[in-house]
Amino acid sequence: MRLERLAGMDIASRNHVTVTGNPQGPTVVLAHGFGCDQNMWRLTVPALVDDYRVVLFDHVGSGRSDASAFSEERYASLDGYARDVVEVCEALELRDAVFVGHSVSAMIGVLAAGLAPERIGALVMVAPSPRYIDDEGYRGGFSAEDIDELLASLEANYLGWSAAMAPVIMGNADRPELGDELRNSFCTTDPDMARVFARTTFLSDSRDDLKGVSVPTLVLECTQDVIAPREVGAFVHQAIPGSALVTLEATGHCPHLSAPEATNQAIVDFLASL
């Protein structure tokens, strides 16, 4: 028992788990996607806290997670992130939680629900994509060369790409003034770890996992999303039996930031229907 508690505490600090909201209410887990951290949900949390217990966390390598827990091997596949989600659920002893995942985390939620069906009772997939690269009979929105370009940019432009955010992030001991100046910035990411996450995110193909989803699922897509175009939203909706699809009047890949009212309403309606 004692060991389990200790392990639970380790997981909580590893993923910088934050629990807020109504302790008596059903639990909603909010998972951020590639590029940011749990701050992404700042406009969503207020809509949930009265009625739900809200769990936020950072994927390892993002935000204020424990960077020492990073392993290139573990996080080279979405399964590694999904196992983390299951461990967070176990540490909090969650049952039938609603998992709200943005972008790549929508697919991580699908995998986690498959690993621990008793922990996750419903899914909300915000701007999901099971595969970013076009394939025969499938349009993901990107060619393999496009993704190579992204990854090459990440590799080659260490300074360029991440110059604005890397210093924050790396906690440059020899240049403390950078940390001070940027301490309030959000979405801190270690560039090396971000590279691994980017590769895992954009090169994964999780299409086959969709049909295994057996829990109530809401798919949220945007009218204009470069990263997850509407064909992809339709694909996810059709692939998951019994899922609901809501198209938000929103531009970009982050409707919870660009159209928070509509996004929150769709989530709250779905939660109320469970």
Partner 1 sequence: MMCRADQQPDPQDADADADADRTADAAFAALLEDSAEDLYENAPCGYLSTLMDGTIAKINGTLLDWLGLEREAVVGRKRFTDLLTVGGKLYHETHFAPLLRMQSEISGIALEMKQTGGGRIPVLVSSAVKHGTTGQPLLIRTTVFDARDRRAYEEELLRRREAAEEARRQAEADRARLQEALAVLQQSLLPDTLPPVPGAQTATHYHTASPDRLGGDFYDVFALDGQRFGFFLGDVCGKGPQAAALTSLTRYTLRAAALHDPDPVSALTTLNTVLHERYAGSGDPRYCTAVYGTLEPDPATGQLAVHLAAGGHPPAIVLRADGTADFLPTPGGLLVGILPSAPFTDATTVLGPGDTLLLYTDGLTEARTGQDRAGLYGDEALLAFVTAHAGKPPHAVVQALTGLLDSFGDGLDDDTALLAIGVPASDPQTRDER
Which residues are at the interface with partner 1 (CB under 8 A)?
Answer: 33-36, 39-40, 42, 103, 142, 146, 149-150, 152-154, 156-161, 163-165, 185-187, 202, 224-227, 251-254, 257-258
Tell me which of 59, 237, 253, 256 is the catalytic residue. Answer: 253
Is 148 annotated as catalytic?
no
Helices (H), the chain: 2-14, 45-48, 78-91, 104-115, 144-156, 158-162, 166-170, 176-182, 191-203, 207-210, 230-239, 255-258, 260-273
Instruction: Tell me the β-bridge partners of 142.
Output: 133
Rounded CA Rg of the chain: 18
Nearer to partner 1, 65 or 103 (CB): 103
Tell me which of 103, 129, 162, 243 is the catalytic residue. Answer: 103
Least separation, in Å, of the C-beta of 232 and partner 1? 14
Four-residue CA torsion sign, 251, 187, 129, 240: negative
Nearer to partner 1, 160 or 241 (CB): 160
Helix (H) or strand (E) holding 143: none
Question: What is the 8-class DSSP label of residue 62?
Answer: B
Is 225 annotated as catalytic?
yes
Least separation, in Å, of the C-beta of 90 and partner 1? 29
Instruction: Tell me the β-bridge partners of 19.
Output: 55
Nearer to partner 1, 34 or 235 (CB): 34
Tell me which of 225, 237, 243, 256 is the catalytic residue. Answer: 225
Question: Helix, strand or coil for residue 220?
Answer: strand
Nearer to partner 1, 110 or 257 (CB): 257
Least separation, in Å, of the C-beta of 160 and partner 1? 4
Is 103 annotated as catalytic?
yes
Query: Which residues are annotated as catalytic?
Result: 103, 225, 253
